[in-house]
Amino acid sequence: MSKYAYVTLVTNTDYAKGAVALVRSLMRTGIEADIVVMHTGGVPTEALAPVAALGARLAPVELLPTSDAFNERHSRAHQHAAAPFAKGGKPVFHTPLDNFAKLRLWQMGEYEKIVFLDADVLVLKNIDRLFSYPEFSAAPNVYESLGDFHRLNSGVFVARPSEAIFSAMLDRLDRPDAFWRRTDQTFLESFFPDWHGLPVFFNMLQYVWFNLPELWDWKSISVLHYQYEKPWEDHAKADRLRPLVDLWRAYYRGEGILDTADLPNPADWP
């Protein structure tokens, strides 16, 4: 086994679809690290078979041992009411509490360093150099304005496994009345207040396509992140994001994958 790993988290059948495209995209770039798919009990075995067939290692994980009060505060109904997603739509399978399970990667002591990738991303270029970045490194949560640069996005980050860090995380996570507005993202930003900023092209959020088109450049994008609506859904913004949706679906099928050099930038697309 490599001392480095790319890790993602799958908590339901929908994200298992995302993991298929993600794993295929990683392997096409010639990466030299392991690929690990953490999965919770909410994922049927048959949904994980395609990622295992592609060569990913499957790692079953449990949800964190959080209190009933914490779980209630971070249930879908409470989370979406207390902190509505006003900028975009979250799919019906979005279960906020499950997001905290990604903290389990700090327990993977067999690896020296991990690059975590959400299951709704595509890797378009080899990103092995991310393993040279320190913990904790993440790209900014930029998708609407340049003012977003002060917030991190937890869809891509660099971590160093440590049981001591994991234990410290559990101690801080479930304190009385703790409410993490954007679940793991808000928590990690608090836990690592001096986080190291990755270039935005290591986690290019899909809304940049129509909100900040001047920032979009296919030649520079290493990781494309389908935040909010997912590319395997038929959603209201699909036509506005058509080149991005079609690219993901080609990766999922494993055929018809275009070189990003042949894709239009927003200024060149109707």
Domain total for the chain?
1
Average pLDDT of the chain to the nearest whole number = 94
Q: Residue 169 is part of which domain span?
A: 4-268
Residue pLDDT, tens place only, 138-150? 999 999 988 888 8
- Strand stretches in the chain, DSSP E: 4-10, 34-39, 57-60, 113-117, 121-123, 137-140, 152-159, 196-197, 204-205, 223-225
Give the model's pLDDT for residue 92.
Answer: 60
Better-predicted residue by pLDDT, 101 or 92: 101
Give the model's pLDDT for residue 88.
Answer: 79
Q: List, as one string, the DSSP characters of 16-34.
A: HHHHHHHHHHHHHTT--SE
Give the model's pLDDT for residue 94.
Answer: 67
Residue 1 reports pLDDT greater than 60: no
CB 41 within 8 Å of CB 71: no
CB 181 within 8 Å of CB 83: yes
Please state the rounded mean pLDDT for residues 63-79.
Answer: 89
- Contacts of residue 90, Cβ cutoff 8 Å, sequence gap at least 6: 80, 228
Better-predicted residue by pLDDT, 161 or 41: 161
Helices (H), the chain: 13-28, 45-53, 68-73, 76-82, 163-173, 184-191, 208-211, 242-253
Please state the rounded mean pLDDT for residues 72-92.
Answer: 76
Closest CA to 229 of 237, 217, 221: 237
Taking CA atoms, 266 is separated from 29, 45, 210, 214, in Å, by 24, 39, 7, 8
CB 224 within 8 Å of CB 122: yes
Q: Residue 151 maps to which CATH number?
A: 3.90.550.10
Residue pLDDT, tens place only, 234-248? 999 999 999 999 999
Q: Percent of the chain beyond pLDDT 90?
A: 85
